[in-house]
Structure 1
Amino acid sequence: MDSRQLRYFAAIHEHGSLSRAAENLHVATSALSHHLANLEDHLGTQLFVRRPRGLVPTAAGERLYEHARGILRSMEAAEQDVRGEARDIVGEISVGMAHSAVRAIGLTLIETVLRDYPRLKLTLSESLSGSTLVHLMASEVDLAVVYNPPQDAALRTQPILEERMVCVGRPELIGDTTEPITFDALLELPIILLKQGLSARALMDDVNLLKKLEARARLNLNSVSAISGALKAGLGCAIGTSLFMHDQLQSGDLVARPIIEPELSRTLYICELSDRPATFALERVRSLILQMIFDAIAKGEWDARAA
């Protein structure tokens, strides 16, 4: 199995037909069909089911596509990295970020890349921490800026900052005060949790306390927008950070109360795949992200302390 076979296979998977894939690749349909037949023969399994309207991948075809996508992406990055010079940052870097990180430095990162690195193509996506890690493991993003990632030999992680968690809600629900609230008192309130697989880990460092919150939660929502709307509607309170609902806190619609006894916190990490060598472009983007986060802390724009 060689790179050309993988590239041809990926094109067939993405276009859903031999003719459309052949047109995209500028090769004959018969040649593409021949390469697919050889690949299926080599692997000893059928990769597509032939249907009147095109080709549908089998389970084996879907698994091979996941591998092929990561391999082809790595090959393209390696070629761009070797062709370019250290001073000329060239290539494509995809970054997945937690909501707070996008809010704090997303725009600054985009503006800096457009201004200073015109040959660098940046893709920035915002998603729940667990989803971002899934994208990283599938090689769909090159860097993930997420909270409390699990320990995994496949990941290379670096802690960036630690945030103190607060209780956020309408004044009539949690009290019109910024005085601290105890964890036990918090459990008596209608709690809204952001929960989606690994994303539940992003809420706080202490797993045991998290389990207590999950047991008492009134709502489990997988959308930042839905949580924002529920908070403003007074349907419950959320455990987050001051940055999480900054605009609503500034307007006075919501209040934030620090949580004590015990104090809750969470740690932000920058993650990448441990078996993937860093390109010049990846190193530069990683450096930019770290510097911008530390600058945001120093300026008081991000209420956190460096890890």
Structure 2
Amino acid sequence: MDIKALRYFLAMVDYGSLTKAAEVVGVAQPALSQQLTALEAEFDVQLLHRSSKGIALTNAGRVLYRHACTILRQLSLASDEVKSIGAKVSGKVSIGLPPTVAARLVMPLIKTVRERFPEVCLQIFEGSNEQMRARFFNQRLDFVFLFRNTGSQTLEALPLAQEVLSLIGYPEQRLLRADQPGAAPILPIENLGSLPLVLPANSQEGLRHQIGEILAQRNIGVNVVVELDSLKYLLQCAREGLACTILPTSVLVGEYADLPHYQIQPEIKRPVSLCWLRSAQLMPAAHAVKEVVQEITGQLVSAGELLSV
């Protein structure tokens, strides 16, 4: 089995098309197609379905994808461990972040790691909760940020902070309340059920799931009129008055800085934890990055941008 062919196979699956994968790995598309044909001939089974809409894994392809992730991950760990003996902290560290966490953390993380550990290569992936979980459990990430405060049989969770969620957009004024003259208006939580909302699709531990659970405890329905997994378009819908959304105010930067936002009362909070697989062997570079993440989130808590756990 050719390791290079396995890397190409993972790229095809991750990027959803041979054309995009060829661009990313830097080879011609016909050569990439030949590698796939050779793999399928070696295993005597079809690994991918190809169509005008892209590619999809067959059942055999799913099995190979899972094993290929493990094989390449172990090779990377072996390389990093050998290189780290008697050397400076070095190697690759991959992290998956949801957009709301990335907005605060990515640039400080990159700057600090570059200053302190110039031989560490950060691989940062931003995506929805579901996308990050899939990458993580396929062992494509060393760390992932998840909105939970406890671990499980398969993963370790280091609670770092809490996010406070706000209503963003243009709700009807009758739904808002001002406790004191001149004070910023707030939205009583029971009024959320009267608002059309645009939220991410429902997923395990995702924003939509967490909001739904909190409101269900109060017998409040959720009126979701659009489901979107794009932070940009969530904010765009709110800005155009199509529906309100619920997000941390830290996402209101750049062209969205002037979007109105309202405190929900009582507060809706969600925990943010740095997670890694219990079975994973964290290399020195990963330990170094984990300490930097803890330091930066501690600073954000001190600055009031996040709440303490």
Task: State the TM-score bracket (shorter-chain normalisation).
Answer: 0.7 to 0.9
Question: Which position in structure 1 is the counterpart of 2:71?
Answer: 71
Mapping of 1:133-148 within 5 angstroms? 133-148=133-148
Per-residue CA deviation, residues 117-168 of structure 1 (Å, 9 max, x unaligned), is: 2221111111112221111001111111122388642211121111222211
Partner AA of 2:140 in structure 1: E
Whether the 8 Å contact between 1:146 and 1:202 is mirrored in structure 2 is: no
Point out the more displaced range, 116-125 or 206-215: 206-215
Is the contact made by 2:95 and 2:144 (CA closer than 8 Å) also made in structure 1? Answer: yes
What's the counterpart of residue 89 of structure 1?
Answer: 89
Name 2:6's counterpart in structure 1. 10
Partner of 1:27: none
Gaps spanning 5+ residues in structure 2: where? 13-17, 19-27, 49-55, 179-183
The alpha carbon displacement at 1:57 in A equals 7.7
| 2:189 aligned to which of 168, 183, 195 | 183
Aligned to 2:263: 258
Is the contact made by 1:205 and 1:265 (CA closer than 8 Å) also made in structure 2? no
Structure 2 distance, partners of 1:205, 1:192, is: 12
1:53 matched residue in structure 2: none
Alpha carbons of 1:220 and 1:12: their partners in 2 closer, same or farther (altered >3 Å)? closer
Q: 1:99 to 1:180 in 2, by over 3 A?
A: same
Asked whether the equivalents of residues 89 and 117 of structure 1 are also in contact (C-alpha less than 8 Å), the reply is yes
| Distance change >3 Å, CA 13–CA 166, structure 1 → 2 | closer
CA contact (8 A) 1:70 1:138 kept: yes
Given that residues 161 and 268 in structure 1 are in contact (C-alpha distance below 8 angstroms), is that contact kept between their aligned partners in structure 2? yes
The letter of the residue matching 1:73 is R
Compute the displacement of 1:69 (Å). 2.1
Distance 1:171-1:86 versus aligned 2 partners, 3 A rule? farther
Q: 1:58-112, CA deviations, whole angstroms, 9 ceiling, x for partnerless residues?
A: 5324412321222221232133123314761111111111212211121111122
Shift of 1:279: 0.7
Change (3 A) 1:171 1:246: farther
CA shift, 1:189, in A, is 1.4
Deviation at 1:223, TM superposition (A): 1.2
CA distance 1:263–1:216, change in 2 (3 Å): same
Distance 2:79 2:236 in 1: 46
- Give the 5 Å matches for 1:89-238: 89-148=89-148, 152-170=152-170, 178-198=184-204, 200-201=206-207, 204=210, 207-209=213-215, 215-238=222-245
Show the counterpart of 2:272. 268
Deviations, residues 219-274 of structure 1 (Å, cap 9, x unaligned): 222211111100110111111222132456743xx2222212x4311111111111
**Helix, strand or coil at the partner of 2:249:** coil
- What root-mean-square deviation, in Å, do the aligned CA atoms of Structure 1 and Structure 2 show? 3.7
Q: Secondary structure at the match of 2:92?
A: strand
Gaps of 5+ in 1: 25-31, 41-45, 51-55
The whole-number CA distance in structure 2 between the counterparts of 1:172 and 1:128 is 29
Identity of aligned residues (%): 18
Which structure has the bigger radius of gyration? 1
Distance in 2 of aligned mates of 1:82 and 1:213: 56
Asked if the contact 1:147/1:268 (under 8 Å) is kept, the reply is yes
AA paired with 1:209? L
Whether the 8 Å contact between 1:149 and 1:202 is mirrored in structure 2 is no
| CA-to-aligned-CA distance 1:184-217 (integer Å, 9 cap, x gap) | 1121112221224236357647725269677422
Decide which moves more: 118-127 or 76-85.
Answer: 76-85
Relative to structure 1, is the Cα distance of residues 185 and 282 closer, same or farther in structure 2, using a 3 angstrom cutoff?
same
| Structure-2 separation of matches of 1:214 and 1:151 | 30
Equivalent residue number for residue 51 of structure 2 = none
- Counterpart in 1 of 2:181? none
CA distance in structure 2 between the partners assigned to 1:242 and 1:133 by the alignment: 24
Q: For 2:227, what is the secondary structure of its paired residue?
A: strand
When the two structures are aligned, how many residues end up with a matched partner? 279
Aligned counterparts, 1:50-65, within 5 A: 59-65=59-65
Distance 1:101 1:68, change over 3 A: same
Show the counterpart of 2:296.
Answer: 292
Name the TM-score, length of structure 2 as normaliser: 0.76
Q: What is the one-letter code of the residue matched to 1:287?
A: E
Residue in 1 that maps onto 2:307: 305
